[in-house]
Structure 1
């Protein structure tokens, strides 16, 4: 894909959409699990659009994808508001400070209530903080917004298991038609649930 970039950008220059194409490439690189490519695109983007807020937030998230927490925190600290509530939540979660991440994630969800991944992040933070029932409710909302996203479904299954809501968990598992996949996921969820902190909200 990198070799196509000059051609794509040349075409975009004609239509005035270079910035949006760049951001699309960066988002796609992150979605594909290629954070180094995302950062390479960001380096080039910064030369064309220095100081762009969206790109600076994407850099924080790409550094988190790489596991470079110190660099991500430094990049966020350079932003006027620390990158906003979602970024603050991501940084706290990356440090394992799950209970502290709940408040900024809640603010982020209030600001963007239709974003399923923010609700997913909030639910997972609640789950890791021992708030299984609250996590399940957040994750139900996320799954309603994005029914086809496996990571949200799996996090909801984990929250339901941790909250002792086994009937709902089994009903959700039954939507997976492939029996070996369903059985493997059931075992995986049970193993992960056993490693979670004891629920505080049962």
Structure 2
């Protein structure tokens, strides 16, 4: 069952500090062959229109050339998180914070990367510092809610999601996260209500519908849940998902198991 809806931008964890991947090494060498001079402001502005891997190689080269380059650290951390290297993104931001401890952009990058790698409890202070400079940023409030949920502070997490909704009413990402927090607390009825709101939005993704199916299944409404699940996954997969939920509900620790499954997939 795809339990993935307490979300940030797509990120995964890797190890190895700030070492480049093979693909990044290749692109970096190509750039070095063209010129070893630092990129101009125009080149830095233009790179943001390129694909994420090209951006990662560009900013990695700039950062390696000058580890004190604040802009390169901010951009590299953000791009690494988006391409699935959350642990490396956190390391880049952490190293740069040693030079710029009061920089709230770096604090935000560090908090987001920690949360994307499942270390939300460690991100709380950085979220607080980042939000002191950007109190109206609904994305930061939403991500902070995910971090708090990871830290087991569910009531505070839901408060953050509600703050995010005040700033961006009807945003499906926030509604989905708030719904999943209620589901993890054992309230699938409230989760269903919120997920239906999210699913009606033009930007709602398949994860919203899959989690709506989960909320219905946890109420014993398996036929309805399977119909919704089939909108995004093959029929056999939808049926397998329902079998998983039935097995989950047959144990005395069903909500604990659901929470463990959900939190292990937070990214």
Residue 90 of structure 1: which of 146, 154, 175 is its match?
A: 146
CA distance in 1, matches of 2:151, 2:98: 31
TM-score (norm 1): 0.71
Match of 1:140 in 2: 196
Please report how far the alpha carbon of residue 139 of structure 1 lies from its aligned counterpart in structure 2 after TM superposition. Answer: 1.6
Match status 1:175 vs 2:231: yes
Aligned partners of 2:142 and 2:174 also within 8 Å: yes
Aligned partners of 1:161 and 1:169 also within 8 Å: yes
Question: Residues 84-123 of structure 1: matches in 2 within 5 Å?
Answer: 85-113=141-169, 115-123=171-179
Structure with bigger gyration radius: 2
Please report how far the alpha carbon of residue 172 of structure 1 lies from its aligned counterpart in structure 2 after TM superposition. Answer: 0.2
Provide the secondary structure at the position in 1 that maps to 2:132.
coil
Residue 158 of structure 1: which of 183, 191, 214 is its match?
A: 214
Match of 1:200 in 2: none
CA distance in 1, matches of 2:248, 2:46: 43
Match status 1:74 vs 2:102: no
Tell me the alpha carbon deviations over residues 144-181 of structure 1, each in whole angstroms, 9 at most, x when there is no partner.
334443x3233222211223444431320232462332
CA distance in 2, matches of 1:162, 1:82: 40
CA distance in 1, matches of 2:238, 2:210: 11
CA distance in 2, matches of 1:44, 1:110: 34
Instruction: Figure out how many residues of one structure are paired with residues of the other and give that number.
Output: 196
CA distance in 2, matches of 1:12, 1:187: 57
Higher normalized contact order (CA 8 Å, seq sep 6+, divided by chain length): 2
CA distance in 2, matches of 1:82, 1:124: 28
1:165 to 1:179, Cα distance in 2 relative to 1, 3 A:
closer
1:182 to 1:52, Cα distance in 2 relative to 1, 3 A:
same
CA distance in 2, matches of 1:129, 1:153: 19
- Between 89-98 and 62-71, report the one with greater CA deviation: 62-71
Please report how far the alpha carbon of residue 124 of structure 1 lies from its aligned counterpart in structure 2 after TM superposition. Answer: 0.5
Aligned partners of 1:117 and 1:142 also within 8 Å: yes
- Richer in helix (by share): 1
Match of 1:17 in 2: 45
Aligned partners of 2:120 and 2:146 also within 8 Å: no
Match of 2:115 in 1: 64
- Between 174-183 and 16-25, report the one with greater CA deviation: 16-25
Aligned partners of 1:57 and 1:83 also within 8 Å: no
Provide the secondary structure at the position in 2 that maps to 1:17.
helix
1:34 to 1:118, Cα distance in 2 relative to 1, 3 A:
same
Match of 1:29 in 2: 80
